[in-house]
Structure 1
Amino acid sequence: MKLAILSRNGKLYSTRRLVEAARERGHSVRVLDPLRCYMRISTEGFEMHYKGAQIAGYHAVVPRIGASVTRYGCAVLRQFELMGSYTPNSAAAIARARDKLRCHQLLAAQGIGLPVTVFGDNPDDTVDLLSMLGPPPHVIKLNEGTQGAGVMLTEKLSASRGVIETLRGLYAHFLVQEFIGEAKGADLRCFVVGNQVVAAMRRQAPKGDFRSNLHRGGTAKAVKASKAEIETAVRAAKVLGLGVAGVDLIRSKRGPLVLEVNSSPGLEGIEAATGVDVAGRIIEHVAGGGVPVRKHPRNADLTDS
């Protein structure tokens, strides 16, 4: 299989592991910086160039697109799809997952548990908006934040109003959610590949913080996810159309609740905590789903719904 990995940096752990796993399984693999890919679009066909040379014939593309380059990265990935390349995560699916509001709406519509969430735009509606949510503590999240950045906890109603007013003054898009106190600063990262959770770890927030992200000083250890947690994680990834996803769950009194679905989950933390060859599982999944390159793929997911 001729495989491309879309990544800004070939030295990153996740990118390196995917390259190693692909080569170990006999595949040809190349790392492509999505920002160096450029396209020709016409009714006669689709063309891609990279650093001055035409590229084509990739059976599959694994996207590792960072949040800061989502728009352009998805355009590049969509072009590959139109040129006949298979991808486990389509451009449309990545766009769904990156928009937290949209993601929550789609999951809730399918009956998947998540923290109660409110969203509004006009400052005149802030008091009523917060009354729809309930009493604090409240969790306020930037709509496109990553790795715990842009996530705040407010313990008083006045603090919630103050943060909301500040964010609106900055023209930021954000969500406000209920705080699940019984989780005690822990969450569960379920790594979904295809229709399976191939690895799971419990992340614990450092003392004095409620964010369990490893980039924020959280710790992780392997854990066996329950049947309900596995079903929730797999369903969440499927609803968004993701073949590879990191689904973050929180254990609550009413069952597992989805906090976030990550379309480019990191491999370092989960592989170190669990010892599972997650990169290998991804490559095997992609190799099994890849199809011969054809000019006009019928199964490409190019909608933005």
Structure 2
Amino acid sequence: MREAAQLKALAAGGLAVPRAAGCRGGVLFTEPVTGPTLADLIFKSPERTGELLGRTFGALAVLQRPVVAEQADQSAITERGIDATFRRKFNGLSGRAYIDRLGEHRLEEHTRHGVAIVLRQVIARLVKLRLAPPLGAAQVLYGDLKPEHVIFPDGPDELPVFIDPGLQRGPGHADVAKLVSRTVLSLIAAPPLTGPVAALDGVDTFVQEQLRPMGRALRGLYLRRLLVTWLMDTANITTTYLSAPVGLPLPEQAGAVIGRIEAVSTLLDRISALLIADTDASAAWRLALAQAAKAAVR
């Protein structure tokens, strides 16, 4: 299986990953990894968010090593990519019909109608925004980098273990965007007891560290790509939650996100409006974090 081969290559490259235990019926089983996830640690210690995101992303420097890059090229899991998922979901007439059916039997009718109106507008903006030329050469991406896939079995001061890879090549900002997208969704679904501001300050610290070696013009381009890709990923996963059959068990976070779908759709609407208006990238980033803070307050 592709994922088993990727885990083997990641281990050879020096990344901490679980060992494959076997495969049955096309499903890969790995040895269990216990401990708090990145999401758990951010909820418990939001003031450490920047440090934790930095430690997570720093460990992924091994992705560019030849043994990992070769495996990414041989067995890429491209269907997990943000852009590929977005194009598959929101393509033409079928995409509009998909949006119109979202939330059936999960949302009250007036809420469902309002969310559909907002999402149609958001998706139309993102379709235009994602057509911008790619930024730099394609890099090896983890591909499914979200807080629940990063586990700290030895505590927050040690290196994490990574599960469920989706290695592929893509723009260098894509892993950062997915990590930001899913971290913000976690904060909206379950805000830390002290509120979301410290955690979002940590998200900003993490992103500013990625920008530090870049020139001013490149920083602006990077931030715009990051924001667009963040919104695309959030649109991808929230619509997946809303379109799931009622009888299908969903993760706890999915139910919490559905319960906060109006806040999430408002967040998508306001940030995408900034981007389509060609707002300065640094200003758009600051305003996006402010909107995320509002969305995460119950």
Same fold (TM over 0.5): no
More helix by share: 2
More strand by share: 1
Q: Of the two structures, which has the highest relative contact order with CA contacts closer than 8 Å and spacing of 6 or more?
A: 2
- TM bin, normalised by shorter chain, reads under 0.3
